[in-house]
Amino acid sequence: MNAILTPLRTAPLDTELLRRFDVPGPRYTSYPTADRFIEAFGPDEHADALHLRSEASVGGGQPLSLYVHVPFCESVCYYCACNKVITRRHERSGPFLKALATEVALHAQALGRGQPVSQVHLGGGSPTFLSDDELASMLDLLRSQFRIVPGAELSIEVDPRTVDQPRLAALRAMGFNRLSFGVQDFDAKVQQAVHRVQPLESVAALMKAARALKFDSINVDLIYGLPRQTQLSVATTIAQVIELQPDRIALYAYAHLPQRFKPQRRIHAADLPAAADRVQMLEGSVAQFLDAGYVYIGMDHFARPTDPLAVAKRQGRLHRNFQGYSTQPDCDLIGLGPSAISRIGATYSQNAKDLQVWTDALDQGRFAVERGLALTRDDLLRRAVIMALMCQGRLEFESIELAHLVKVPQYFSEELRRLQPLAEAGLLELSDDAITVTPAGWYVVRAIAMVFDRHLQSDRQRERFSRVI
């Protein structure tokens, strides 16, 4: 566990070494990853998984996590890879909310009404595209079919351009206790290049208002590797964010995949920072956050030492789901809305990405699941291994062997062989009974996890993934 808590900068950062392992790869919010889902897994299979959970949790079970994907945005951000509908016609939310009510009712019918829920997260798109009345009605809908347990996390992603102080007060009154502000960068030239202009002063005013309203946690999303960014401009943005004192910070690497995401074609490749500059941006940002007292959670997340995320990291209780790192137990997740992904038992289910296809399915009274996957025994074993590395930075062989009835050195003999170059590079430590990610290895923990990804190892076409750094 000590390796997890060691500050990254205690190990010299070898830029060439990191570039060597800076390869395209998954972010592992799930394993197997969503690109492995198949169309043979559809609405009926999703319903079967829900019924199995219902039968297994008679008399009460582990609380659920709910995710609602609100697909609408008023304007396009050129870097964005999210599933979204760009529109200024706010009346389009009506049919969406009607279909959502059907989707919620279908799940409640399959599971039984009143299932406990310990986490609700609204993402998108921009959830704050919806009006206050619409957001309040959505929460009322969820509360009418599920039982939101005391102390539950209710979080919402906020586009600072769509809210003011009264709106924040309205969100707090609805019951939201966590906010995530999409900032990305404060430099004016960068904001213009990505078509997302929001001055520092407006975000600072919102952060101050959120503090006064006593939200339990405030997160800020940032991106490095954007067009027109420099090492100095990123350092300036990081310093400004630190002054705002968010409880959590997500620092993502920009993934330039214009062949997959049409808005990114408006970004000029010549404006993007070089790979070496990206490494230095990451190194400098990590150092700034650590100097300011933040704890490095893993991969791209930071938190104040007293934040539940940092506490969970210290205590070995950290988990990872489709929203990233989480303090919640490894619980089932119901995804609502177009493109949302559910995890029920040993299955994954993804809704149709197209808003109209999703709506049409629900209008016909059936789940809008378009594809999914039933995990094999090998999938479950590898998921446990990858999540241990991604969340704790350490894989104890004994715990895996007891839970899955295998001998790690024999079952993963080829994987352990492929880990040797990473161990020789100082990115991890191999012993007879454990794998431990070193401080330098946290920069490329995705590359370490990829070694255990059976699907990825058999498919070398990785252009669909972002790079590790």
Counting Cα atoms < 13 Å in the Cβ hemisphere of 109 gives 10
- Per-residue b/e over 316-328, b at no fewer than 16 CB within 10 Å? ebbbbbbbbbbbb
pLDDT of res. 59: 46
Tokens at 84, concatenated = 């979204």
Instruction: Look at residue 109 and give its three-state secondary structure.
Output: helix
CB atoms inside a 10 Å sphere around CB 437? 25
- Residues forming beta bridges with residue 253, ordered by sequence position: 224
Tokens at 47, concatenated = 């319903």
Cβ atoms of 360 and 269 closer than 8 Å:
no
CB atoms inside a 10 Å sphere around CB 59? 4
76: alpha, beta or left, given left = phi > 0 and alpha = psi -120 to 50? Answer: beta
CA separation for the pair 121, 71 (Å, rounded): 14
- Tell me the Cα Rg of the chain: 22
* Domains within the chain, CATH numbers bracketed: 1-32+377-469 (1.10.10.920), 34-334 (3.80.30.20)
CA torsion through residues 132, 134, 137, 138, sign:
negative
pLDDT of res. 6: 40
CA separation for the pair 123, 72 (Å, rounded): 10
pLDDT of res. 1: 36
Q: How far is CA 358 from CA 336, 354, 372, in A?
A: 10, 6, 15
CA separation for the pair 326, 302 (Å, rounded): 12
Residue type, 97: L
- Per-residue b/e over 358-386, b at no fewer than 16 CB within 10 Å? bbebbeeebbbbbbbbbbeeebebbbbbb
pTM here is: 0.91
In 118-259, which ranges are continuous DSSP H helix? 132-145, 165-174, 188-194, 200-212, 231-244
Nearest CA to 14 among 283, 337, 202, 196? 283
Cβ atoms of 152 and 120 closer than 8 Å:
yes
Q: What is the pLDDT along the chain (469 residues), one digit of tens a residue?
A: 333 334 444 444 566 777 777 777 888 989 999 999 999 999 999 999 999 999 886 545 789 999 999 999 999 999 998 899 999 999 999 999 999 999 999 999 999 999 999 999 999 999 999 999 999 999 999 999 999 999 999 999 999 999 999 999 999 999 999 999 999 999 999 999 999 999 999 999 999 999 999 999 999 999 999 999 999 999 999 999 999 999 999 999 998 989 889 999 999 999 999 988 998 898 899 999 999 999 998 878 999 999 999 998 888 888 888 878 888 777 899 999 999 999 999 999 999 999 999 999 999 999 999 999 999 999 999 999 999 999 989 999 999 999 999 999 999 999 999 999 999 999 999 999 999 999 888 888 999 999 999 988 766 555 556 666 6
Tokens at 461, concatenated = 């076409």
CA torsion through residues 288, 201, 73, 271, sign:
negative
- Residues forming beta bridges with residue 431, ordered by sequence position: none
Cβ atoms of 220 and 250 closer than 8 Å:
yes
Compute the residue count for the chain: 469
pLDDT of res. 141: 97
Q: What number of H helices and E strands is found in the chain?
A: 18, 19
Q: 302 phi and psi, to 5 degrees?
A: -135, 155
Q: Which residues, at least 6 apart from 339, have a Cβ–Cβ distance to it below 8 Å?
A: 69, 71, 83, 350, 351, 352, 353
